[in-house]
Each structure stands twice: as structure tokens, then as C-alpha cells.
Amino acid sequence: MAESTPGPAEGTPSIDVMMPYYGDVALMQAAVRSVLAQTDPDWHLTVVDDGTAAGVPEWFAQLGDPRVTYLRNEVNLGISANFQKCLELATRDRLVIMGCDDRLLPNYIAAVRALATAHPKIGLVQPGVRVIDEAGAPTSSLVDTIKRRRYAPKELLGDGGPVVLQGEALALSLLRGNWLYFPSLCWRTDAIQATTGFREDLRVVQDLAVILQLVAAGESLVADNVEAFEYRRHAQSESSRAAVDGSRFDESRRFFTETARRMDEIGWHRAALVSRRHRSTRLHALTLAPTALRQRDAAAFRRLVRYAASTK
């Protein structure tokens, strides 16, 4: 068994790393190893297994690290409910809900702890993110290029240091195009636990729904461009499949219409207008139409084009 490590220095936040797990065993193990490899050893990892893969409990048992807790659900909860369970299990000051196929760079805990210590009241911390492919190699997609070049704050393209955003300006920025990487975010635990959490009726916009709840409640975000997280982008992920067949945009339309009403209610009328138009998701649908055409999926092609051309 590894020796327990001392608690954080006074004034620095303790960090829960929560990992809702389902899917590929090897990628999950790589994700866990990336947590174990942190230069700052003060963290606690909790893996909540929503699957039945053989050998997984035994693999965790042999790790012998008291900072790692492994739990297997007695019944399959599904994605949203498993994320919600992770949220409810968190007890430390700060919380990360990392993807079971993503990886922390060795400096992640140190980086987010430094940002959270410098901004103790901040609800959200976004460190710099490196995008990798299925094999773990650095990659870049059109989506990621647009996130960084068009929607993210321009200060993050240079060496200007951390950027703090809040209020309608932050909501407006995210509704124009969600440039955050949800699994890399470090949340203030009491803030996210005060939201309604992960909704069962949402799948592909769950992340933005939770984030906007915090923003509307008055929470701020600090973002930095120093890379500390590796986000794995799969060509055949659930969101990618739902995007190509157009089904994700039915959810998006409903969500942005609902959000526009919410923004109007709190007096953020510019943000409401941007949400009502949701131009970035309509543009995304248009870029996917040729793929549906190549796959000879006429129904998906028509759905994507109709959504891209819609005005509400």
C-alpha cells in the first residue's frame, strides 16, 4: 500500500477527481495512470464503474493506493445518472469530473490548484487543453480550431495569463460557441452541487446546461492557456454519431429555446438573442450535411439542412 500524503497547505483547495466509467478498459486504465502520475500528489480519485467488464475490480485492488476509491454500480445507471452519482459523492473543496478516456497531464492538479488558490471564489477553472486522437497522438479538428480561434477569449491565444469572465459576458461567449472542455474543468464543489445537476432529458448539451446554471447563479470562470489536460476526440463517439444523423440538433433546438427564455427572465437579453439564434450549432449542422450525403443517408441530410436553415 502506498503511504498517505499530507493534506494541502493552509489556504489551498483539496481536489476530488471523479471518473464516471463505462467503455474501453485500456483507455480507462491510461486515464487512471495519468492521475497517479501527478506532480502534486494531493488528490483523491473515485472511479464509479457503470459497466460489467471482467477484471476491472481486481485491477483496482492491485493498485494499492489509498487515494483511489473504486465503486461498481449494482445496476447500470446510464450516463446522466452515473455523472450525478459522481457529483453527489464529492466531498472536497474542488471537483473534476474527468472522462474515462481522457488523460491528465502531469501538471494538472498543480495547475488547477494554483488557479483556484489565486481565485478562491471562482466557480469554474478551465486549464489549457491538448486534443488527442484514439491512439493518444495530438490532433486538431475543425471543431477544436473554431473553438480556439473564433469563440474562446482572444487573450487565450497569446501569453497574457489567466482570463476571468462572469455574468452576461460569459453567458454570451458560451452561447455563441461553447469553447470549454467539460471533462477538464475544475469546479468549486459547493457551487456545482447547488445546481440541479445532470438532467436525464439531455445528452449532448449536458455540459453547457450545468455551466450556464452556475453562470446565471453568479459564478465566475478563470481560464488559462497553459496545457494541463488531454481531451480525447473520437470520430465515432456518441455525440459524433448523433451529430451526423442530425438527432443531436433536435435536443439543441429545445435547449437553446429554453435557455433564451431563462436569459430573458434574468434580464440578459443579448444572451437570450444569441441563444435563440444558436448560429454556431446551425453552422455545425451545415458542415455535417456532406458527410450524411456521402453516407447516403437522405433523411439525415434533410434534417441537417433544415436545422441549419432554421431561424428559431
Read off the C-alpha cell for 125. Answer: 477553472
Q: Which residues contact 112 (CB under 8 A, 6 or more apart)?
A: 15, 94, 96, 125, 127, 186, 228
Which amino acid would we find at residue 235? A
Q: Cα dist. 44→95, 119, 142, 220, 309 in Å?
A: 10, 21, 35, 25, 47
How would you classify residue 55: left for phi > 0, otherwise alpha for psi between -120 and 50, otherwise beta?
A: left
Give me the pLDDT at residue 178, please. Answer: 93
Q: What is the pLDDT of residues 72-119, one digit of tens each?
A: 999 999 999 999 999 999 999 999 999 999 999 999 999 999 999 999
More confident residue, 60 or 279: 60
> What pTM, to 2 d.p., does this model score?
0.88
CATH code at 15-234: 3.90.550.10
Res. 4 pLDDT band, cuts 50 70 90: very low
Confidence of residue 256 (pLDDT cuts 50, 70, 90): very high
> Quick one: cell of 239?
455525440
Query: Which residue has cell 439525415?
Result: 300
- Please say whether the beta carbons of 151 and 209 come within 8 A: no
Is residue 311 predicted with pLDDT exceeding 70?
no
β-pair type (103-104, 221-232): antiparallel
Are 289 and 304 in contact by the 8 Å Cβ rule? The answer is yes
Report the pLDDT averaged over residues 194-198.
94
Span 200-250, pLDDT tens digits? 888 888 999 999 999 999 999 999 999 999 999 986 554 555 556 556 778
Task: Provide the mean pLDDT of the chain.
Answer: 89
Query: What are the residue boundaries of the structural domains of the chain, listed by start?
Result: 15-234, 239-309
The total of other beta-carbon atoms located within 10 Å of residue 207's CB is 18
Mean pLDDT value of segment 285-300: 79
Residue whose entry in the numeric block shows the C-alpha cell 489551498: 12
pLDDT at 6: 43
For residues 299 and 301, what is the distance between their CA atoms, to the nearest angstrom?
5
Comparing CA positions, the residue from 255, 308, 241 lying closest to residue 280 is 308
Span 39-84, pLDDT tens digits: 999 999 999 999 999 999 999 999 999 999 999 999 999 999 999 9
